[in-house]
Amino acid sequence: MIQTLEVALGERSYPIHIGCDLFSRADLLLPYINRRKVVVLSNTTVAPLYLGMLRSTLEKAGIAVLPIVLPDGEAYKTLASLNKIFDALLGAHCERNTTLIALGGGVIGDMGGFAAACYQRGMPFIQVPTTLLAMVDSSVGGKTAVNHPLGKNMIGAFYQPKLVLADIASLDTLPDRELRAGLAEVIKYGLIRDPEFFAWLEINLENLLARDRGALAYAVHRSCANKAAVVAADERETGERALLNLGHTFGHAIETGLGYGEWLHGEAVAAGTMIACELSRSLGWLTQDQLLRIKALFVRGGLPVAGPKLGAQRYLELMRHDKKVQDGRLRLVLQKGIGSAELSDVASDAQIACAIDNACT
Amino acid sequence: MIQTLEVALGERSYPIHIGCDLFSRADLLLPYINRRKVVVLSNTTVAPLYLGMLRSTLEKAGIAVLPIVLPDGEAYKTLASLNKIFDALLGAHCERNTTLIALGGGVIGDMGGFAAACYQRGMPFIQVPTTLLAMVDSSVGGKTAVNHPLGKNMIGAFYQPKLVLADIASLDTLPDRELRAGLAEVIKYGLIRDPEFFAWLEINLENLLARDRGALAYAVHRSCANKAAVVAADERETGERALLNLGHTFGHAIETGLGYGEWLHGEAVAAGTMIACELSRSLGWLTQDQLLRIKALFVRGGLPVAGPKLGAQRYLELMRHDKKVQDGRLRLVLQKGIGSAELSDVASDAQIACAIDNACT
């Protein structure tokens, strides 16, 4: 069974197909591929697992496949990798209507999307996420980017894919640590706007960890439905979309501060969310009971609930580079109970520093 | 006197102000600058001439100016230069609502615009062109890019400025060779869509070369009016906008083939236009008389009317990387008389090669 959602963005609208064994389904891909050639961007971990399957499906349909395989990991989400992609695209005479397929996790999707946005000022691209995190978050919504030594996702574009193809079966090979990291973004949707989903997660978390396909498909679908609704209302993040960054300003500071790749993005988001929740509690926006309920779910997911001890001043310094800074003030997503969040610059540096100290033990 | 045109693109609409001594006019700039800081990107040639004036105007209005000065020339329109801009922006804690001003010619405008498009996924930017070519062409319409060793403008974005400020007085310091190069793009508008303007140029070309400010202001205004009309009708070049590339596919081959910076862009466009006209003549779209009339105007402008002898096969090979290639076929802008042009893939490789041989002597 395939479930389909639409991200409603006018002429930039696109479908998200969620199901099992989709890599054999040429019929889902062909409408978005021009002519007889397609580029598949992947990494050294995912390519040996799934590139052959996808390639064989496309070649049987008469499409030549140009694979571009990069090293795996957040440390390679750089302008230098991007340049390698451009070299390959130009070397193979790719045109601006050649389609690029990003096959992999968030790093491949972010980089592939940004490369597609820039190549000849924009070529069509398709997201084929193979991690839980990419399926529920990064493959949907058109945020693409690479990192800079001074800040995560600092160089990028808003550029929507033509199609997202989420094959739940590909999660079979996902390492446990990455599955758990993906859960951080799943839990996020419950926290910021979907209290029923949060309650469902409290009941079903162990089914997700056990990779029950029905549970995974439900969680991916519900997460994507939340994300699609937010993105359709606010594509370029002038308002509500900023709430999707719950825990991310703290999380990006953790990732940049420790060096990209040390913690997984989802792990940094989990710890960052707990810092945001601690700050929300200190402001009276969240009760101690709610805080503990949130913490308990992350703990069951095997996720870190305390940030590394970089020192509050170092956190603040790193956070000053974040895209959410406006007019010199840090704007943070804070929790208002469970199921509701708000972007606010109400917290002072001292209050933020205090929450960091309390939540990084 | 200031003349103002609008590029009508809905919520991305913006004004083009054309006049003299505009660098002292803080009132024109301030509506597009957020808060107390602005970035000015320029190069080592233009900065000593005009950065001080612009900076003093802005500082008197209470705006801090962060200058970023790059080496001058097409050879520096690279991803490496772009990275230097990002380093400077992040090092100075620029936010995504900080405005970037591109002060210089086409290279600074293209690179500044692309940097602004990518920095934190998009910061506001202002074009302050100081060459004739940038005033009449590259600063208007939102095409931004850097070059790749295998092809010109291959990596870029469509990203519109908030404002274009064309100070005719700044042309006083433009070297003759660059003034002439700008005329190639001016003549282009006459050729592709404005026969009256072409006739005006036949009468007034020497006034432009003598830097008569009234004539220059008229030519800049009429060129921008043509460009604004085309861009408003076809922002992302799905149709009519492609006609603005008259001579550019051949011209880009000349620039890439000789090495960026050897010929000026306008010079390559002039020679490229003559190749396109020769091809148009061989197809019966242009009479011999019309061809000679066009050639005479370029000659009066001191522009090359023959391409370098790279060999027809080398031209074709370089042109295969052009963005106008679709489904493996070269699409070229061809002249239909004077004042009308058409994008066409009707010419065979042999016909194109023959025109190249005839027009590269």
Any CB–CB contact under 8 A between A36 and chain B?
no
| Residue A87 C-alpha, separation from nearest chain B C-alpha, in angstroms | 8
What structural domains does chain A harbor? 3-173 (3.40.50.1970), 176-359 (1.20.1090.10)
**pLDDT tens digits for A63-89?**
999 999 999 999 999 999 999 999 999
Residue A58 — very low, low, confident or very high, per pLDDT cuts 50/70/90? very high
Residue A248 annotated to the active site: yes
Chain A residues within 8 A of B146 when measuring between CB atoms: none
Residue A93 annotated to the active site: no
B328 residue type, one letter: G
**pLDDT tens digits for B149-208?**
988 999 999 999 999 999 999 999 999 999 999 999 999 999 999 999 999 999 999 999
Q: Which of A241, A281, A324, A331 is catalytic?
A: A241
Instruction: Tell me the mean pLDDT in the region A264-274.
Output: 97
Indicate if the pLDDT at residue B321 is higher than 90.
Answer: no
**pLDDT tens digits for B45-80?**
999 999 999 999 999 999 999 999 999 999 999 999
User: Could you give the percent of chain A with pLDDT greater than 90?
Assistant: 94
User: What does the pLDDT read at residue A76?
Assistant: 96
* Total residue length of chain B: 361
User: What does the pLDDT read at residue B202?
Assistant: 98
Nearest CA in chain B to A236: B121
Any CB–CB contact under 8 A between A78 and chain B?
no
Q: Could you give the count of Cα atoms lying within 13 Å of A252 in the half-sphere of its Cβ? A: 23
Per the CB < 8 A criterion, the answer to whether B341 and B239 are in contact is no
Cβ separation A93–B320 shorter than 8 A? yes
Indicate if the pLDDT at residue A246 is higher than 80.
Answer: yes
| Residue B328 C-alpha, separation from nearest chain A C-alpha, in angstroms | 8
User: What does the pLDDT read at residue B261?
Assistant: 85
Structure tokens at A62: 């008469």
CA pair distance B202, B208, nearest whole angstrom: 11
User: What does the pLDDT read at residue A323?
Assistant: 82
**pLDDT tens digits for B203-224?**
999 999 999 999 999 999 999 9
Q: Which of A235, A237, A255, A278 is catalytic?
A: A237
From residue A274, give the alpha-carbon distance in Å to each of A195, A251, A360, B265: 17, 10, 9, 55
**pLDDT tens digits for B324-361?**
788 878 999 999 999 999 999 999 999 999 999 999 87
Per the CB < 8 A criterion, the answer to whether B137 and A177 are in contact is no
User: What does the pLDDT read at residue A328?
Assistant: 79
**pLDDT tens digits for A290-307?**
999 999 999 999 999 999
When scoring B34, B37, B118 by the number of chain A Cβ atoms within 10 A, the one with the most, hence best to mutate, is B118
Indicate if the pLDDT at residue A361 is higher than 80.
Answer: no
When scoring A36, A120, A248 by the number of chain B Cβ atoms within 10 A, the one with the most, hence best to mutate, is A120
Q: Which of A152, A180, A248, A324 is catalytic?
A: A248
Instruction: Tell me the mean pLDDT in the region B42-46.
Output: 98
Per the CB < 8 A criterion, the answer to whether B136 and B219 are in contact is yes
Instruction: Tell me the mean pLDDT in the region B94-107.
Output: 96
Given the DSSP bridges, would you call strands B14-19 and B3-7 parallel, antiparallel or unpaired?
antiparallel
Q: Could you give the count of Cα atoms lying within 13 Å of A300 in the half-sphere of its Cβ? A: 17
